[in-house]
Amino acid sequence: MNLSIVDAFKKNFPDLDIKTPTWAVLGVTAEFRKLQVGDIVLFPIDSYNYQTIRSTPGTSMVPEVLNEGRQWKTKLDRDNKSVAVLRIA
């Protein structure tokens, strides 16, 4: 069964109001910073480095994680050839 990225996130976070995904146009850190809880941003694999996206919360976003408690989840979106990032807190 091939779930949409929104359905896949809703399956894991049923109480979260998940919004329609948007495509990234800024840098990775800028996209992470502008996300609100429930927002999803899609990073196209051909334009963004997968490891950079996955490591951003533990490197560039440390102040937001420690001071504000922000959290994100990532998931590979094969249908859209992208990495989806959902802000969960």
pLDDT at residue 1, rounded to an integer: 40
| DSSP string computed for 3-21 | --HHHHHHHH-TTS-PPPP
Q: Quick check: helix, strand or coil at residue 83?
A: strand
Q: In the prediction, which pLDDT does 2 show?
A: 52
Q: What confidence score (pLDDT) does residue 3 get?
A: 67
- Asked whether the whole model's pTM tops 0.75, one would answer yes
Phi/psi of residue 28, nearest 5 degrees: -60, -50
pLDDT means per 10 residues in the chain (89 residues)? Answer: 81 95 96 96 95 93 94 93 96
∠ CA 13-14-20, rounded to 5°: 80
